[in-house]
Amino acid sequence: MRKSRKKRSKRQQPQPALSTAKPEEPREGQGAVSEDAPEATVPTEETIPEAAPTRRRFFRQAWWALGGIALLEYVWVVISFLRPRGAPEGETGIVVAGPVAGFEPGTVTAFRRGKFYLSRLEDGGFLALSRECTHLGCTVPWDDEQGRFVCPCHASAYDQRGVVLDPPAPRPLDLFPIRIENGVVKVDTGDPQKRLTFDEAQVTEP
Ligand code: FES
């Protein structure tokens, strides 16, 4: 009897009524998408900005640039120092070196104008020597301590007469003609003369 009562009570429970009503249209201003609302944009490869360089990369590039500039300046200074310099216009010609008595025997005097050395030998004779190395044309300084010219480029050496002591220089330093007038030494820097050996005839006696 109890079972039949339970069954009956289950059957008698009211079933939810199926609604046939249509869903309400959204009222104006409630949940409706306005036509004026901006469209959502999806990021693409074109719209994504490039990644800004990191600070570390920036400093590394800056250091490389500064290092490159410093290296270029260093190379320029070295080349400027070593390259032979031609005489500017107006600096060739006769250079009045000075009175004979102003040059002690056994000395070498450098002249900026005309770019030559006036070498007075121990016997009192004069030679005017070009300061350009006969190897590749570097400027050759006189080394007073060693008593010789030593080229800074490839270490060629010349004695006080301009004769080669150490190669690779192939021949002596070029000569400029000398005139001695009224006890004054004059050098013609417009007429350099090549030579293969030293000869006494090259020396100008006072
Ligand atoms: S240029 Fe002087 S030794 Fe080479």
Alpha helices (runs of H) in the chain, residue ranges in sequence order: 2-12, 55-82
Q: pLDDT confidence of 3, banded at 50, 70, 90?
A: very low
CA-nearest residue, atom 3 of ligand 1: 154
Atom number in ligand 1 closest to CA 138: 1
CA-nearest residue, atom 1 of ligand 1: 136
Mutate which of 81, 133, 148, 150 for ligand 1? The one with the most ligand atoms within 8 Å of its CB, which is 133
Q: How far apart are CA 76 and CA 125, in angstroms?
A: 40
Asked if the model's pLDDT at residue 15 lies above 70, the reply is no
Give yes or no for residue 153 CB within 6 A of ligand 1: yes
Rounded to the nearest 5°, which phi and psi values hold at 54? -70, 160
Alpha carbons within 13 angstroms on the beta-carbon side of residue 27 total 1
**Strands, E assignment, 70-163:** 94-99, 107-111, 116-120, 126-130, 142-143, 148-150, 157-158
Burial class of residue 111, CB neighbours in 10 A (0-12, 13-18, 19+):
middle
Q: In this predicted structure, what is the pLDDT of residue 83?
A: 53
Mutate which of 78, 132, 148, 151 for ligand 1? The one with the most ligand atoms within 8 Å of its CB, which is 151
* Domain locations along the chain: 94-202
Give yes or no for residue 154 CB within 6 A of ligand 1: yes
Could you read off the pLDDT of 89-127 as tens digits, one per residue?
444 589 999 999 999 999 999 998 889 999 999 999 999
Give yes or no for residue 136 CB within 6 A of ligand 1: yes
Mutate which of 148, 154, 158 for ligand 1? The one with the most ligand atoms within 8 Å of its CB, which is 154
Comparing 121 with 7, the larger pLDDT belongs to 121
Rounded to the nearest 5°, which phi and psi values hold at 81? -70, -40
Measured in Å, residue 140 CA sits from the centre of ligand 1 at 8
CATH match of 94-202 with 2.102.10.10: yes
Measured in Å, residue 150 CA sits from the centre of ligand 1 at 9
Q: In this predicted structure, what is the pLDDT of residue 88?
A: 43
Asked if the model's pLDDT at residue 186 lies above 80, the reply is yes
Q: In this predicted structure, what is the pLDDT of residue 62?
A: 84
Contact 102, 95 (CB under 8 A): no
